[in-house]
A and B are shown apart, each in its own frame.
Chain A
């Protein structure tokens, strides 16, 4: 129940296309869903996050769509650019839990071809 399942494992998109990464969870106590972006040789950095009281959050070309009933959330990258090539991790947090830990998905390696 503590898992966050992420797909696909890797993704190749043409420049200007839309990149879509999906995550699913089981624990309904999760209340915060961030996405992290990681470039080679660097640590993950927070990209965008959503709470379950909204269905969508947009920041620039990045949008999170959240479906509470299906227990799924996804990251959409519009007008994908080569500079977006990175590994993306979804995560979930149980704010009311004993530790408030983040549970990470397994990551998606995105390559945007010029």
Chain B
């Protein structure tokens, strides 16, 4: 059971570089989410996708774009990385956006912007 798989696990970028974080789930879930986790800030929602073909902004979308490539995959792109985007990024999925079932998280991508 792979669940939610995120790649890469670690990445170091220079300011201004671009990068795409990949996420794939094998649980046939419809909704997918991108969070960032910073010390003392908890988990903050960047973007989410309620179903294939739809994406919406979360709490902190500035500086990011997303693509719901298909039902399995949801990618997060940093077009011009900034040091403030240094964080741990988590992808999550849930069966349906309005279900009572829990969100399942990947193990994160640790991103440093120099």
Which residues does A use to contact B, with CB under 8 Å?
6, 9, 32, 34, 41-46, 49, 89, 95, 99-102, 104-107
Seed contacts A42-B107, A99-B97, A107-B42; 16 additional CB < 8 Å A-B pairs? A6-B42, A9-B40, A41-B107, A43-B4, A43-B90, A43-B105, A44-B105, A46-B102, A46-B103, A99-B48, A100-B98, A101-B58, A102-B103, A104-B42, A104-B43, A106-B41
CB of B107 within 8 A of CB of A95, answer no
CB distance from A78 to the nearest CB of B (A): 22
Which residues does B use to contact A, with CB under 8 Å?
4, 40-45, 48, 50, 56, 58, 90, 92, 97-98, 100, 102-108
CB distance from B26 to the nearest CB of A (A): 15
Which residues of the partner chain A approach B103 to less than 8 Å between Cβ atoms? Answer: 46, 102
Which residues of the partner chain B approach A107 to less than 8 Å between Cβ atoms? Answer: 40, 42
How far is it, in angstroms, between the C-alpha of A106 and the C-alpha of B104 when the chains are bound? 19
Which residues of the partner chain B approach A45 to less than 8 Å between Cβ atoms? Answer: 104-105
CB of B42 within 8 A of CB of A89, answer yes
Residue of A nearest to B9 (CB): A41
CB distance from A75 to the nearest CB of B (A): 15
| Dominant secondary structure at the A interface | loop
Question: 8 shortest A-B CB distances, which residue pairs?
Answer: A43-B105, A46-B102, A106-B42, A104-B42, A104-B43, A100-B98, A43-B107, A44-B105
Which residues of the partner chain A approach B48 to less than 8 Å between Cβ atoms? Answer: 99, 101
Residue of B nearest to A32 (CB): B100
How far is it, in angstroms, between the C-alpha of A56 and the C-alpha of B50 when the chains are bound? 31
How far is it, in angstroms, between the C-alpha of A68 and the C-alpha of B24 when the chains are bound? 38
Residue of B nearest to A42 (CB): B107
CB of B102 within 8 A of CB of A34, answer yes
